[in-house]
Amino acid sequence: MQATTATEAPVLRLDRISKIFPGVKALSEVDLALYPGQVTALVGENGAGKSTLVKILTGIYQPDGGEITVDGTPVSFPTAQDAAAHGITAIHQETVLFDDLTVAENIFLGHALKGRFGLIDTARQRRMAAEILHSIGAEIDPDTRLRELGIASKHLVAISRALSIDARVVIMDEPTAALSHKEIHELYELVEKLKAQGKAILFISHKFDEIFRIADRYTVFRDGQFVAEGRISEITEGELVHMMVGRSVDQVFPKRTPSIGKEVLQVTGYDHPTEFEGINFTLRRGEILGFYGLVGAGRSEFMQSLFGITKPSKGVTKIDGEITVIRSPAEAVEAGIVYVPEDRGLQGAIRPMPIFQNVTLPSLSRTSRNGFIKLAEEFALAREYTERLDLRAASLDTPVGNLSGGNQQKVVIAKWLATQPKVIILDEPTKGIDIGSKAAVHDFMAELASQGLAVIMVSSEIPEVLGMSDRVIVMREGRIAAELSGDEMTPETLVRHAAGIAEA
Amino acid sequence: MSTTERFIPDRLQSPLQKKIKSWESLLLAVAIAIFIANSFASPYFLNAWNLSDATFNFTEKAMIAFAMALLIIAGEIDLSVASIIALASTAMGAAAQFDVSTLTLVLIGLGVGLACGAFNAILVCGMGLPSIVVTIGTMSLFRGISYIVLGDQAYRGYPSDFAFFGQGYVFWVISFEFVLFALIAVLYGILLHKTNFGRAVYAIGNNATGALFSGIRVNRVKSILFLLTGLMSGVAAVCLTSRLGSTRPSIGLGMELEVVTMVVLGGVNILGGSGSIPGVVIAAFVMGLVTFGLGLLNVPGIVMSIFIGALLIGVIALPRLWEMWRK
């Protein structure tokens, strides 16, 4: 292992790299340098070109201009294998692993250890997998099927997989997005270990606390352009945000004077055989009710059951005081309950379809006559709600998949508002979206509540929960651990109830 | 929040521009080319009665293909359609032995088609089984029943006015089947492209989970599509039985593949999510013209199927080859 000093030459350098897609310049002459034993944070709003850059580094896209050098020698990565051969590996936002293979098979997939006759040497693979897992402090049996692991363990497998090719450059694309507090902590320790081994790490994150916690250097992109780079120690959070958005964004949550009206939703005795138990709560007009908890606490599962996706074994929903049976999302929408899911790509939007068709999908009965589509009314409805959300798109018939994450989320929210619901459930509404869109979503939530809509917000981000909610329900292991309001709503109480730690 | 007025246009391209660049335009060009080539290749081609005869090459398949197109766009498939024809035709043949009216025969044919569609729908939508496996199963099942009933026998003795559906002419060279084909094309075109139901079909095919989460009754829509496909197979059974005047258990054997070929050639994505009825209409004409043209040149049936296969692969590979060549 080499000793790491700050003056060392970069392992990997990108020089004036450009990437053009039809009609869009995704990257315009950007620079990036990664140094051995250092963590470089790549910072930028969604749409800044971070994902494109990762794809270029891993051989998925080819740059249209510029030069990549490894140890000072120009290289190119025509395929993903070429990038791996140069020791570059990425741990993706949504980890690409295979549920039905074992941990060891996942780790060595694509570069299996061969024994005699070119067959896979499973014994050696298992041993090596155990070694790598052990080296990062993950005590996982290499023979376990991946399906049986939790999301955090899966992540550790993904990291082991990255390390199994003897990587020199490790790219981590929002590695903490799906992790709980404790798991994030363990990830930080792992990053420290990788640093000590002299690996260069590219760390992509939207969370400023973690950037300042673990990064040594930063590089800022904005709208596909290089903005700045430097040492983290020489910059403040405010300066970094300013460079990122090109304007100063105060991360203050919208101030509201909640005008809470009469009860609109009453949930009693919701049980599910495995996911949740004994859920009771009420919700009033104009109220924002936060649901906090660790990943796996059963919040999303409960919300989806309220929305008619998963069937609870028992439970009663009353809307405006009347018992309402909801057996499908269609019935939920009719009853005035809508759900903005966490998994935007799969559950939220229909990405290949145009924006306007996504927005009007649950409201088609209102933009049609006797089942026949009225295009002009569809466009009008879509325009009304997307403009309210300040959507940025080339046209309303652009496929939703072409938009950035934040704008996709706006389409999903617009879709539900167009149904004029009574209760809107937002599941991790700002996960993985940029600061600008985040603020827009927060403002919008406040506006909706002030117009008398009842809002349920599931969030794992404490500042968001505390900043937005009038009341917070903390869930732990499928049960309601606490219901907090007013002065009880502090970061400490939230974490304590979520983790099940007794009163200090 | 920024309050700057930002206008998002409805469209960047006019619908006409999009149409010109579409798959359907390419296919139409292919159809015209085949038409011209045929008229040079054979002196008998440009004859009204010959051309009218040629339409029987595709009318029955196309009726099923329209329903199949919707099913494939929604991400499902029904491979049992030809066997539904066999079962429906057998049922009609059996009924004809008891001197029932023509109307009753037609209702039996359509009813059996609907019932078969309902059976597929229950297995796929009710029990959540994959449609490709279910309908391979029912493909054997439905035709198997016909073989048990008929063995190596055939049903004949249909009433004389029953012949109209497959052999009758509405006006001059315009056959009843062709009129029915055109009518069904228009109905399915409206259903897919102009109604909420059609929009739901596209949504399901592009992302069934997303459609469910958007309040679409996914299983209900899919069930209706299986019922429609069964019904159209029943309609085709009436036409085909009437045209042949007899029922053997091998009736329409292998037709499901020609129907799927027609749908895919028409630009419907076999993985679901996109496609159009005008595309399937043009594809029907292309297949009809090719088989008819080759028939006039005395090309044997086996070579014809090679030709259709090559045409399918060629037309599908064309855009991909074009892209590769540009790079």
Does pLDDT of B1 surpass 50?
no
Say whether pLDDT at A28 is over 80: yes
Query: Each residue of A197-209: pLDDT tens digit?
Result: 888 999 988 777 7
pTM: 0.77
Question: Which has the closest alpha carbon to B6: A475, A387, A282, A421?
Answer: A387
CA distance to B84, B145, B157, B243, B247, per residue, from B152 (Å): 19, 13, 17, 20, 11
Find where tokens 């201009």 sit: A65
Task: Give the pLDDT confidence score for residue B4 in this predicted structure.
Answer: 44
DSSP A37: T
A272 versus A176: which is more confidently predicted?
A: A272
Question: For chain B, what is the domain count?
Answer: 1
Chain A contacts in chain B segment 198-257 (CB below 8 A): 198-200, 202-203, 206-207, 209-217
| CB hemisphere CA count around A307 (13 angstroms) | 26
Mean pLDDT of A375-396: 90
- Residue in A333, A352, A439 nearest the CB of B206: A352
Verify whether the Cβ–Cβ distance B217 to A347 is below 8 Å: no
CA pair distance A131, A120, nearest whole angstrom: 18
At residue A178, does pLDDT exceed 80? Answer: no
pLDDT tens digits along B123-146:
999 999 999 999 999 999 999 999
pLDDT at residue A53 is higher than 50: yes
Task: Inspect the interface and report whether the beta carbons of B197 and A349 lie closer than 8 Å.
Answer: no
- How would DSSP label each residue in B48-115? HHHHHHHHTTTHHHHHHHHHHHHHHHTT---TTHHHHHHHHHHHHHHHHTTT--HHHHHHHHHHHHHH
Nearest CA in chain B to A355: B10
In a domain, B201, yes or no: yes
Q: How far is A379 from chain B (nearest CA, A)?
A: 7
pLDDT confidence band for A4 (50 / 70 / 90) = very low
What pLDDT does A503 receive? Answer: 52
In Å, what is the CA distance from A265 to each residue of A228, A291, A454? 49, 15, 8
Q: Which CATH number goes with the domain that contains B210?
A: 1.10.3470
Q: Find, in chain B, the residue whose alpha carbon is nearest to that of A385.
A: B8
Nearest chain B residue to A309 by CA: give it: B213
Q: What is the predicted pLDDT for the residue at A22? A: 62
Residues in B closer than 8 angstroms to A333, CB to CB, are: 215
pLDDT of residue A5: 46
B203 and A353 within 8 Å at the Cβ level: the answer is yes
Nearest CA in chain B to A334: B215
Q: Å from A387 to nearest chain B CA? A: 8
User: What pLDDT score was predicted for residue B139?
Assistant: 97
Look up the ipTM and state it. Answer: 0.86
Residues of A in contact with B216 (CB under 8 A): 329-330, 361-362
Q: Which chain A residue has its CA at the smallest distance from B273's CA?
A: A352
| Contact criterion met (CB below 8 Å) for A353 and A378 | no
Q: Outline where A197-274 has alpha helix (H).
A: 208-214, 237-245
Partner residue opposite A329 with nearest CB, options B200, B202, B213: B213
CA B44-B49-B50 angle, to 5 degrees, is 40
pLDDT digits (tens, 9 = 90+) for B12-32: 877 777 777 778 888 898 889
Range of the domain at B91: 25-34+45-315
Task: Quick: pLDDT tens for A81-135.
Answer: 888 888 888 887 555 678 889 999 888 887 778 887 888 888 888 998 998 888 7
What are the chain A neighbours of B198 within 8 Å (beta carbons)? 373
pLDDT in tens, A426-454: 999 987 677 777 888 898 899 899 989 99
- Is residue B39, in this structure, part of any structural domain at all? no
Q: Check residue B92 and give its pLDDT.
A: 96
Nearest to A347 among B6, B12, B210 (CB): B210
Tell me the percentage of chain A whose pLDDT exceeds 90.
38
Binned at pLDDT 50, 70 and 90, residue A252 comes out as low
In this prediction, residues B91-103 reach a mean pLDDT of 94
B1 touches chain A (CB under 8 A): yes
B195 vs A contacts (CB less than 8 Å): 368, 371-373
Extract the tokens encoding A159. 């990291």
Q: How many residues does chain A have?
A: 504
Contact B216 A361 (CB under 8 A): yes
Nearest to A21 by CA among A43, A51, A57, A42: A51
Distance from CA of B221 to the nearest CA of A (A): 13
Instruction: For each of the domains in chain A, give its residue range(s) and CATH number, in order of start.
Output: 12-245 (3.40.50.300), 268-336+422-428+453-504 (3.40.50.300), 339-420 (3.40.50.300)
Partner-chain contact A397 B210, CB within 8 Å: no
Average pLDDT over residues A133-162: 83
Tokens standing for B240?
């085909």
Highest mean pLDDT among A99-108, A125-134, A269-278, B68-77: B68-77
More confidently predicted of A26 and A383 = A383
Chain A residues lying within 8 Å of B8, measured CB to CB: 383, 386-387, 391, 393-396
Please compute the mean of the pLDDT values over residues A306-335 and round it to a whole number: 92
Average pLDDT over residues A392-404: 88
Which residues of chain A have a CB within 8 Å of the CB of B221?
A: none
Q: Give whichever of A396-410, A477-491, B92-106, B295-309 has the largest mean pLDDT.
A: B92-106
Task: List the single range of A120-129, A209-218, B234-243, B300-309 with lowest mean pLDDT.
Answer: B300-309
User: Which class for A209: exposed (0-12), middle (13-18), buried (19 or more C-beta within 10 A)?
Assistant: exposed
Residue-wise pLDDT for A450-460, tens only, equals 989 999 999 98
CA B282/CA B276 separation, integer angstroms: 10
pLDDT at A24: 63
Instruction: With respect to residue B119, please indicate whether it lies within any of the assigned structural domains.
Output: yes
Number of inter-chain CB pairs under 8 A, A vs B? 108
DSSP B158-214: --GGGGHHHH-EEETTEEHHHHHHHHHHHHHHHHHHHBHHHHHHHHHHH-HHHHHHT
Q: Residues B273-277: what's their mean pLDDT? A: 93
Q: What's the pLDDT score for residue A392?
A: 83
Question: Does a structural domain hold residue B2?
Answer: no
Residue B256 lies inside a defined structural domain of this protein:
yes
Q: How many CA atoms lie within 13 A of B213 on its CB side?
A: 24
Region B20-48 average pLDDT = 85
Dihedral sign for Cα A433, A438, A440, A446, please: positive
Residue B232 placed within a domain: yes
Report d(CA A338, CA A454) in Å as an integer.
11
pLDDT for residue A306 is more than 90: yes
Q: Is B189's Cβ below 8 Å from some Cβ in A?
A: no
What pLDDT score does A241 carry? 74
Residue B1 lies in a domain: no
pLDDT at B290 over 50: yes
In a domain, B18, yes or no: no
Determine contact, residues A221/A19, Cβ cutoff 8 Å: no
Q: Which residue has the higher pLDDT, A221 or B204?
A: B204
Nearest-by-CA chain A residue for B210 = A347
